[in-house]
Structure 1
Amino acid sequence: MKYRRLLLVTDLAADAGGALAAIRALLPFADYCAVLACLPERGLGWFDDEASPELEQPGSAALEQLRTALSAVHTEVDIRLAPAPGVEALDQLAQDTGVDLLVIGPFSFGSTLAGITHMVALRKRRPLAVLWVPDQVSADPAGARRGATQLVCLATGRRAGAAVTSFLREHGDPAQQVTVLQTAAEPPPDGVVALDVSGISAPVELLTAGPLVISQWLDERAQARALDLLVVAHLPAALLLASRSAAPCLVLPPVPPLERPLVERSLDGPDLVDLGSPLHARFEYATSIGIGRRTVIPDQTLAFVAGGRVLAELGSRAGDVSWAYDGDAHACGVFRTEGRGTAQPLAAIELQLAILRPGPTPVLLFDAELSDEEMDALHQATLHLVPQRRPTWLAVRLRPVRSCRLIRSRLQAAGLPARVIDASVVLDEGDALDVPELADPVRLARVAGRLRAAAFPIVAIVHRAELAPSTIGFVALRADEIDAQRLAALPPVPVPAPPATLAERLDHMTGAPLIAGNRIEVELDNALARRWLLAAIEASVERIHFQTYMAADDDIGRLVEAALVRAAARGVTVRLLVDSLHGLHGSLGASNPLLERLGAVPGIELRVGQPINGVPSLEALKQRDHRKLVIVDNRVALLGGRNLAHEYYTGFDEVALGRRSMWHEVPWLDAGARVEGPAVTAIEQGFLVAWQATGGQGWPVAACAVSGHTNARVVTHQGLRDAHTLDAYLALIDEARSHLHVVNGFPLILEIQHALLRALQRGVRVSVLTGNLMPRHGEQPFSGPWSCVRAAATEFVHSRVDALVAAGAQARQFTMAPQAGWAAGLGPVHSHVHAKLMCADGRVCALGSANMDITGGYWESELLLVIEDGAMATAVEARIEALMAGSTPMDRNDTQWRQLAERRAWMRYWPGVLSL
């Protein structure tokens, strides 16, 4: 112990050998010792000028022996004689000498009660630690030379735990072996023994048991002489335990009670993960029932403790806190500061959280909602492995229906580490109200991917789905596939290096390789897209592969129909793949006349994807194939967001719009790409997989020759199996350093919205071009079916942009100026934006079929072309900026916008689960 100034109160009639041995063994740093030697006979006064001279003569053998022994240890010894002193005088002496430890005993038989009385009374007056040395403490000098190595601390209750923790932090030594005793009725033990939270350097072992077991354990240690010091926070415990052992007992200073509300809900939250950025914490109220959505704490100030001190006081917002912590602690304590202050941080800690960091031990993530039996199976499988091969298990809460406290209790009961992280925190999804439960296995894999990108050696995930999610760099297993043999067979995973560039992150998160040697053109022009499409069909020689989500029997549909029929008549093989539900053909009794005619043409093979018969499930309705592409002769590919219908392939200057026009007559803004070169091979391979999934026969896909100098990635996303296109968008946003351009007309998934907000905080200039699902001229909507639904959907889309506008993004609603063929006085038209386009820093752009909403992110299969070409990205950005220049601003300083944003603010709680 590191106490420096001692006050020893002893009885000259008693043998002080035990006390001296205890002082030598326990207090090697003490340099001052005041001794109050109590005389057995009654004196006339204490430090009185009229006191008997005999009281000031240290001539007795006992006194000389005491002085000699203490002088050998301490540089300064001050011995005073007194009859049994009063408490006031003892308190005054402690104050005058500035001591930090009171040593009591031993006493002769008749004075023991007086010693106890001194200890009790003085603790009430002065917050001193008291070392009580019972009579039976050995005076063996060998023990003094060995020092105090075996410490036992009793911590019952929060205040006692805080006192013990403070003592170990200030006086502990790495050479000591410390055991902390805690009754089984106490809360989980991490708050007492978390070394990083308290700053304890000594190794600590926790024993949690009932009082009888603890008592028996103490007796065994005492008999084996494996106990050098008892440390307690309560005086009654000191009297009880010290009387049963032959060891000194240190009674810690009392910790003043904290002011707390009479009724206060417990703080709860997941553990923190170091992903190489500010730590993100989420706090909620703990629940004692099995299920129920989490309740976030009110906005307030929270203190974070590590190393025994407050490192930060941060405000929470909707329960979330971002902590820019660059230390190396592996745990932290948290408490609410209101009404408490920060003077006693260890006593105030309400919640202890691990700070999980990368390390060499393999990590296996598992769904925190595995059954008790499945969790036990994980533990049992680990026990059969040699220690060097044992992985670290880490629970992931995918749904906030069970509190982290309850999850930790279940983990402890199963013998697994009581560590749980929250998927929505790692992925920054917010409440993720619109993320379907069916996507949870994919989310689990994405959490693993994020950790792996931060250098965590993830080897596997354990999920609950029938079909395993796609993984990159680790495997996906079900709980019933876990046993020791399977775990032992997992290949060792080298500690991955965090992706340092956008290219590395795209490699890491999408699995799509960079393909060189392409010639690529990008357009945001419906008429040009139509010319590309018809020219490619007319130039076809061998085969046409055509995939679409919707096909309308309108002017555009019939125009393309005629071109395909002519190609088939020339002997070209035409394979036409259409989503059955949204193509209105083969599902729920629907039949599409256009597709009926095409399917009957010799040389044209029509297949529909995932037809629905009977009562549909949500999964059947939502898990569709949303890709739109055309591949001709394995030579040229067209891809983008366009379905086969009028509004996608008709220019704004090609229609005669009037006030009575229907909304579906209004062209939409869309984007597409024309690709030649090796990337076409990857696009065709994706079509082949989709074609064969519907029962179609395969064909050999030949490698395409180099056609240019543009590098690109073909990112494919399979609905409810991965989220590759979503992760590609996020990679572009997170790696942007200068500016971002986003063209999107669907409600942003919160992950993308939050990533854009982070970009704004980094100083990135963010530009967003959105539209109106319910097109309008001036302030008047065009008429047509589902007008009210589309108007509400437009509000929802804009509500997801409002947060960006408020944070400083430049956002505009796509507006087309009046054209020559429009009715006079119609005014500008605010149309729908169907393009899915993102550009970053003038060096990369991405476009395809993947909307930036929940449906595109998880439900539907998608295709995204990521073009890594600075000249092309710069040209596309220039085209976007030209469109934005003529569009209507969403200005945070505009009163009308503020009123609209306030009106639709509630929509942030509206799950965007419907296809729009």
Structure 2
Amino acid sequence: MSGESITLLAIAAHALVVLAAAVYISARRMPSAAIAWILAIAFVPLLGIAWFLLVGAGRLPRRRRDQQRDVNRAVLERAPGEWEVGHGEEWPEALASAARLNRELGALPIVGGTRASLEGDYADTFRRMIADIDTATSSVHVEFFILVLDDTTRPFIEALARAHARGVAVRVLSDHLSGFLYPHRGATRAALRDAGAEWHAMLPLRPFRGQWQRADLRNHRKLVTVDGRVGWTGSLNLIDSSYLKRGNLRRGLRWKELMVRVEGPVVRELDAVFITDWYGETDELLPLDASVVSVPKAAAAELLDAQVVPSGPSFENDNNLKLFVYLLQNARDRVSITSPYFVPDESTQLAIVTAASRGIAVELFVSEIGDQVMVHHAQRSYYETLLRAGVRIHLYRPPTVLHSKHFSIDDDIAVIGSSNMDIRSFSLNMEVSLLVHGRAFVDELRRVEDAYRAASRELLLEEWLRRPARTRVLDSLMRLTSALQ
């Protein structure tokens, strides 16, 4: 066979591979993601195909998705009660639809009777969580993306040991891959074992044991529940505020977090998320609290309505994405967003720009510096469009990394949890968010945002347009990588 014939066959084979990839990849992806993958396979076929085979599947294995559906059915079969709605007559028009959307996608109802308070001090958060664990009489459930034994977290693990010594069931989940990316992995596991905690890794990558899924599908949730009556969730990981990486320590970086502490019926909904993940990792389905809960009318007036929103690749839909975009589209007066990694998909970016363009006061809090180079530069590529639309961008001053994840809509709706406003959190990570309705809670969150504003500098369009050309090129190139999901 001549060299010319071989070349023609190679071209034809390459064209067939690209065509097959175009048909297969575009079936269940957004056009931008599909195009990015097809271009990668077209221009670097061997590397592109290998990378797609490694990280191309966007859902967990069928067994995990079936388990999620099992728990969803069990949750929906619980006897409903008056507690499901606390202040429905006071809700803004959009909230009823948002609550129904969340229930349809994530199975968990909006509930009344919630007490909620925010904690943004790193040390105080640990002290308060430890104090709650020390009141446990039946169960402590702990689930964090990162869990490392260090001087900051040792008192927390010691509290788990005290709970176990009292006869409390202590169950702990942490992400498998993150355990290898941070120090003290062996010491951490030994400390949990010595504390009497039953620990399991989330989404383990153990192919020889049949435990495998797309490697970058991670469980990013952060939560604690105590006896089903007190709960915590938010942005904090169980690790020192430097995250113990050499580069962070050299630069003097410290993480700024925000957690929410809740009491009332919503805690059992938060616990249902833990029960689902425990079931997925152990095949043990813990009993769901199915009792009828009622809130005394005399107390209900002072309490909040709240809804737990789980999301991630165990669901068929991007639950948090749909909620976030819906709330942004229905804002009336004001939107305030805090996200350490802001790499939105097209629908989120359009909703934010549209809100600003129709006169809504929109502000975005992000860190001035980044701990992840590619993500930080991808994030910066969105700033010009936002600034031109009238979004005010506040850059939190270094050496603090603003890691809080929350946003508020108008005067009475807030969302706080583990989810960034980025493509990874929308589609690839298992996340948990808390939707809260209540003027008092939003006022408390506004005070947090005021403190952020005071510790930030505002980025102006004129300044941004003067940044060096090489930086613009890097930002744009990194933006392209965000679509490979």
> TM-score, length-normalised on structure 2?
0.74
**1:621 is matched with which residue: 212, 215, 218?**
215
**1:804 is matched with which residue: 379, 382, 386?**
386
**Residue 770 of structure 1 pairs with residue 366 of structure 2:** yes
> Aligned letter for 1:881?
D
* Cα contact 1:506–1:728 (8 A) shared by 2: no
Cα RMSD of the aligned pairs, angstroms, is 3.8
**1:438 is matched with which residue: 38, 54, 57?**
57
Q: State the distance in 2 between where 1:517 and 1:698 align.
A: 27
**1:831 is matched with which residue: 373, 393, 400?**
400
Q: Deviations over 1:644-675 (max 9, x none)?
A: 0011899xxxxxxxx99434x63212111101
**Residue 853 of structure 1 pairs with residue 447 of structure 2:** no
Q: State the distance in 2 between where 1:562 and 1:610 align.
A: 26
CA separation of 1:369 and 1:813: change in aligned 2, threshold 3 A: same
Q: State the distance in 1 between where 2:464 and 2:16 align.
A: 47
Q: State the distance in 1 between where 2:116 and 2:368 align.
A: 29
**1:814 is matched with which residue: 393, 396, 399?**
396
Q: Deviations over 1:581-640 (max 9, x none)?
A: 11339x9xx9431122212433x2111122212599994312221111000011100111
1:873 aligned residue? 442
> Aligned letter for 2:358?
R
1:458 aligned residue? none
Give the 5 Å matches for 1:406-425: 424=31
* Cα contact 2:241–2:254 (8 A) shared by 1: yes
2:320 aligned residue? 725
**Residue 504 of structure 1 pairs with residue 97 of structure 2:** yes
Give the 5 Å matches for 1:150-549: 398=28, 424=31, 433=36, 438-439=57-58, 501-508=94-101, 511=104, 512-549=108-145
**Residue 902 of structure 1 pairs with residue 472 of structure 2:** yes
Secondary structure of the structure 1 residue equivalent to 2:131: helix
Secondary structure of the structure 1 residue equivalent to 2:277: helix
Q: Using the TM superposition, give the Cα deviation of residue 913 of structure 1 relative to its aligned residue in structure 2, in angstroms.
A: 6.7
2:202 aligned residue? 609
Q: State the distance in 1 between where 2:439 and 2:205 align.
A: 44
Structure 2 runs not aligned, ≥5 long: 1-14, 38-51, 70-91
2:342 aligned residue? 747
CA separation of 1:397 and 1:760: change in aligned 2, threshold 3 A: farther
1:103 aligned residue? none
Q: State the distance in 1 between where 2:379 and 2:127 align.
A: 31
Q: State the distance in 2 between where 1:735 and 1:501 align.
A: 6
Q: State the distance in 2 between where 1:666 and 1:907 align.
A: 26
Greater C-alpha Rg: 1
Q: Using the TM superposition, give the Cα deviation of residue 735 of structure 1 relative to its aligned residue in structure 2, in angstroms.
A: 0.8
Give the 5 Å matches for 1:60-75: none
CA separation of 1:660 and 1:469: change in aligned 2, threshold 3 A: closer
* Cα contact 1:557–1:594 (8 A) shared by 2: no
Q: Deviations over 1:352-392 (max 9, x none)?
A: xxxxxxxxxxxxxxxx958xxxxxxxxxxxxxxxxxxxxxx
2:262 aligned residue? 675
2:230 aligned residue? 636
Q: State the distance in 1 between where 2:314 and 2:36 align.
A: 17
1:819 aligned residue? none
Q: State the distance in 2 between where 1:897 and 1:878 align.
A: 33
1:709 aligned residue? 303
Q: Using the TM superposition, give the Cα deviation of residue 792 of structure 1 relative to its aligned residue in structure 2, in angstroms.
A: 4.2
Q: State the distance in 2 between where 1:903 and 1:694 align.
A: 43
**1:863 is matched with which residue: 429, 432, 436?**
432
Q: State the distance in 2 between where 1:770 and 1:660 align.
A: 18
* Cα contact 1:720–1:858 (8 A) shared by 2: no
* Cα contact 2:94–2:327 (8 A) shared by 1: no
Q: Deviations over 1:103-159 (max 9, x none)?
A: xxxxxxxxxxxxxxxxxxxxxxxxxxxxxxxxxxxxxxxxxxxxxxxxxxxxxxxxx
* Cα contact 1:677–1:705 (8 A) shared by 2: no
* Cα contact 1:502–1:731 (8 A) shared by 2: no
**1:889 is matched with which residue: 427, 445, 458?**
458
Structure 1 runs not aligned, ≥5 long: 1-288, 294-367, 371-395, 400-422, 442-463, 472-498, 651-658, 776-789, 816-828
CA separation of 1:431 and 1:899: change in aligned 2, threshold 3 A: farther
* Cα contact 1:748–1:801 (8 A) shared by 2: no
* Cα contact 1:642–1:649 (8 A) shared by 2: no
* Cα contact 2:380–2:475 (8 A) shared by 1: no
Secondary structure of the structure 2 residue equivalent to 1:531: helix
Q: State the distance in 1 between where 2:405 and 2:478 align.
A: 22
2:79 aligned residue? none
Q: State the distance in 1 between where 2:63 and 2:146 align.
A: 30
* Cα contact 1:846–1:866 (8 A) shared by 2: yes
* Cα contact 1:506–1:731 (8 A) shared by 2: no
1:569 aligned residue? 165
Bigger relative contact order (CA 8 A; separation at least 6) = 2
**2:250 is matched with which residue: 645, 659, 662?**
662
1:159 aligned residue? none
Q: State the distance in 1 between where 2:484 and 2:17 align.
A: 27
Q: State the distance in 1 between where 2:405 and 2:484 align.
A: 18
Q: State the distance in 2 between where 1:470 and 1:701 align.
A: 14
Secondary structure of the structure 1 residue equivalent to 2:354: helix
> Aligned letter for 1:886?
A
> Aligned letter for 2:333?
S
* Cα contact 1:629–1:638 (8 A) shared by 2: yes
Q: State the distance in 1 between where 2:279 and 2:27 align.
A: 36
**Residue 793 of structure 1 pairs with residue 375 of structure 2:** yes
CA separation of 1:856 and 1:596: change in aligned 2, threshold 3 A: same
> Aligned letter for 1:579?
D
